[in-house]
């Protein structure tokens, strides 16, 4: 059946499928296996079509990384405004942040970070994307927690929450760490609630 969508729409859909496949390949198969040819085959796209959108593997990976950050930000934006008060409210926010930061998108990003650590050119491209994402996540956490970000102590606690989320995501890379993660999130939520209440 002939695809009758406008060429621009088809091109956009192809690019999105390519980026989604790149993320999945990085998360599942790792950096070394995620060559242009492998990603193209997994996406059902010709190698030539891939290179029409991204001339090099590095450009494709960076495009996927930027797409990853947009997707992770969208997940955090989709978190519902928490209701209620006290530890349960804070727990819902912390749990949402942990889930939004972790998962397949984190595993794919981790592959890129590992290579970027030893590749100055790739690192120079990745670091600004990371910083932009980190600022966005921090702003969302402040909004969801209803916290005073001008208070240095509160700002530190929010940063600790995000560092905790990344650490828990890392712990989940090799094995299913969901049970321990749930206990840690619950315990930290109680501590965070106490600290936020004291600051108020």
Residue 163 lies in a domain: yes
pLDDT at 129: 86
Inside any domain, residue 181: yes
> Is residue 100 in a domain?
yes
Separation CA 27–CA 109 (nearest Å): 8
CA 90 to CA 65: how far, in whole Å?
30
pLDDT value, residue 5: 58
| pLDDT tens-digit map of 90-105 | 999 999 899 888 888 8
Three-point CA angle 78, 29, 34, nearest 5°: 95
Residue 22 belongs to domain spanning: 7-199
For 113-162, the pLDDT digits (tens) are 999 999 999 899 889 988 988 888 899 899 888 888 899 999 999 999 99
Collect all residues with Cβ–Cβ distance below 8 Å to 37 and sequence separation of at least 6: 47
The CATH number of residue 45's host domain is: 1.10.357.10
Q: Which residue has the tokens 């592959």?
A: 111
In tens, the pLDDT along 78-90 reads 777 777 667 888 9
Residue 2 lies in a domain: no
Q: Tell me, what's the pLDDT at 4?
A: 53
Domain count, the chain: 1
Spell 33-64 as b/e; 16+ CB within 10 A means b. ebebeebbebbebeeeebeeebeebeebbbbb
- Greater confidence (82 vs 168) lies with 168
Mean pLDDT rounded to a whole number for the chain: 88
Residues in the chain, total: 200
Give the pLDDT confidence score for residue 115 in this predicted structure: 92
Confidence tier at 30 by pLDDT (50, 70, 90): very high
Kindly state whether residue 58 falls inside one of the protein's structural domains. Answer: yes
Confidence bin at 7 (pLDDT 50/70/90): low
């Amino acid at each position: 059946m002939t695809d009758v969508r406008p060429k621009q729409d088809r091109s956009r859909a192809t690019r999105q499928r390519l980026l989604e496949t790149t993320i999945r390949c990085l998360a599942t198969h790792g950096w070394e296996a995620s060559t242009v040819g492998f990603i193209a085959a997994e996406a059902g796209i010709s190698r030539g079509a891939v290179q029409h959108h991204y001339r090099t593997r590095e450009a494709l990976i960076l495009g996927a990384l930027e797409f990853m950050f947009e997707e992770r930000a969208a997940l955090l934006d989709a978190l519902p405004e928490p209701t209620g008060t006290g530890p349960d409210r804070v727990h819902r926010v912390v749990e949402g942040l942990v889930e939004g930061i972790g998962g397949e998108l984190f595993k794919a990003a981790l592959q890129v970070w590992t290579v970027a650590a030893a590749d100055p050119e790739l690192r120079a491209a990745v670091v600004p994307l990371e910083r932009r994402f980190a600022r966005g996540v921090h702003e969302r956490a402040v909004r969801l927690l209803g916290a005073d970000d001008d208070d240095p102590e509160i700002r530190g606690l929010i940063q600790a929450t995000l560092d905790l989320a990344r650490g828990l995501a890392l712990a989940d890379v090799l094995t299913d760490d969901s049970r321990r993660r749930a206990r840690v999130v619950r315990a930290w939520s109680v501590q965070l609630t106490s600290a936020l209440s004291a600051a108020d």
